[in-house]
Chains A and B, each alone.
Chain A
Amino acid sequence: MNKNSTLTPFRFRNVSDKLLLTNEIGKFSFYSDDLMSRFYDDELSSGEIDSLKQQSIIVEDSEQWKLLSLLRNTRNATKSDSEKLSYLMVIPTLRCDLSCSYCQVSRAPINAKGFDWSEDNLEMFDGFIKSNGSNGMKIEFQGGEPTLRIDLLERIIEISESYFTDLEFVICTNLVTISDDLRKLLEKSNLVISTSIDGPESTMTANRTEDTSVSKAVIENVKWVIDNYGHSKLSALPTIATDQIDHPEKVIDYYRSLGFRSIFLRPVNYQGFARKSYKELSQQIESWQKFWLQAMNHILKISKDDYFEEFYLGTLVRSIFADRASGFVDYASPANYASHYCVIDHDGTIFPTDESRMLSRTRQIDLSIGNLEKGLDREIISRLNFNAIHHTNEDCLHCAYLPYCGIDIIDDLSRYERFDISKTTSWHCQKHIFLFDFIFEKVANWDVEWLKLFNSWIHRSQNTSDALQIFK
Chain B
Amino acid sequence: MINLKLKANFSWSGPPFVARISNTISTNDDLTFPFKKDELGNISVHYKSGIFSFLPPQADDFEGDVLLCDPKSSKIQRIFRANSNYNSLLMTERCDQMCVMCSQPPRKTNDAWRFPIYEQALTLASQGATICLSGGEPTLYKAELFTLLENLSSSRPDLKIHILSNCQHLTPEDIPRLQKIHESLDVLWGIPIYASKSEIHEDIVDKHGSFNILMNNLYLLASSKANIELRTVVMATNSLELPDLSKFISDHLDFANYWAIMALEPVGFAKANLGNLLYDHSIAPQPIHKAIDIAVARGVDVRLFNFPLCTVGPQYRKYCKQSISDWKRKYLDICGKCTVKEECTGFFEWYDERSKWERISQL
Contacts and interface: CB of A to CB of B under 8 A. Distances in A.
B48 interface: no
Contact of A467 (B251, B252, B290): B290
B224 to A, nearest CB: 14
Contacts of A467: 243, 246, 289-291, 293-294
Interface stretch (B122-130, B176-184, B212-220, B261-269): B212-220
A465 B293 contact: yes
13 contacts: A62-B209, A62-B212, A63-B216, A64-B219, A65-B216, A65-B219, A65-B252, A69-B252, A323-B297, A458-B297, A466-B290, A469-B243, A472-B244
B290 A469 contact: yes
Contacts of A64: 216, 219
Contacts of B212: 60, 62-63, 65
A68 B221 CA distance: 13
Contacts of A466: 290
B299 interface: yes
Given A466-B290, A469-B244, 20 more contacts: A27-B251, A62-B209, A63-B215, A63-B216, A64-B219, A65-B218, A65-B252, A66-B252, A69-B252, A321-B297, A323-B297, A459-B293, A459-B297, A465-B289, A465-B290, A465-B292, A465-B293, A467-B246, A467-B289, A470-B293
A400 B293 CA distance: 27
A322 B247 CA distance: 10
A189 interface: no
B296 to A, nearest CB: 8
Interface in A100-120: none
A464 interface: yes
Contacts of A62: 209, 212, 216
A66 B299 CA distance: 20
B298 interface: yes
A89 B251 CA distance: 34
Contacts of A458: 297
A322 B290 contact: no
Interface in B191-243: 209, 212, 215-216, 218-219, 243
Contacts of A60: 212
A470 B297 contact: yes
Contacts of B290: 465-467, 469
B251 A323 contact: no
Interface string B246-276: 1100011001000000000000000000000
Contacts of A27: 251
B109 interface: no
Contact of B299 (A65, A68, A323): A323
Contacts of B251: 27, 69, 73
A68 B299 CA distance: 20
Given A63-B212, A69-B252, A464 B299 contact: no
A73 B254 CA distance: 10
A322 B254 CA distance: 13
In this complex, the member of B218, B289, B290, B291 whose beta carbon has the largest number of chain A beta carbons within 10 angstroms is: B290
Given A467-B243, A470-B247, A65 B293 contact: no
A467 B247 CA distance: 10
Q: Across chains A and B, which 8 residue pairs bring their CB atoms closest together, nearest first?
A: A467-B290, A465-B289, A65-B215, A469-B243, A322-B297, A467-B293, A69-B252, A465-B290
Interface string A48-78: 0000000000001011111011001100000
A463 interface: yes
Contacts of B103: none
Contacts of A72: 255
Contacts of B294: 467, 469-470
B247 A472 contact: yes
Contact of B298 (A68, A465, A470): A470
Contacts of B27: none
A148 B198 CA distance: 64
A427 to B, nearest CB: 31
A463 B296 CA distance: 14
A466 B297 CA distance: 12
Given A63-B212, A322-B298, A469-B244, A463 B315 contact: yes
Contacts of A465: 286, 289-290, 292-293, 313
A321 B299 CA distance: 11
A339 B282 CA distance: 49
A450 to B, nearest CB: 17
Interface in A365-387: none
A62 B198 CA distance: 12
Interface string A223-241: 0000000000000000000
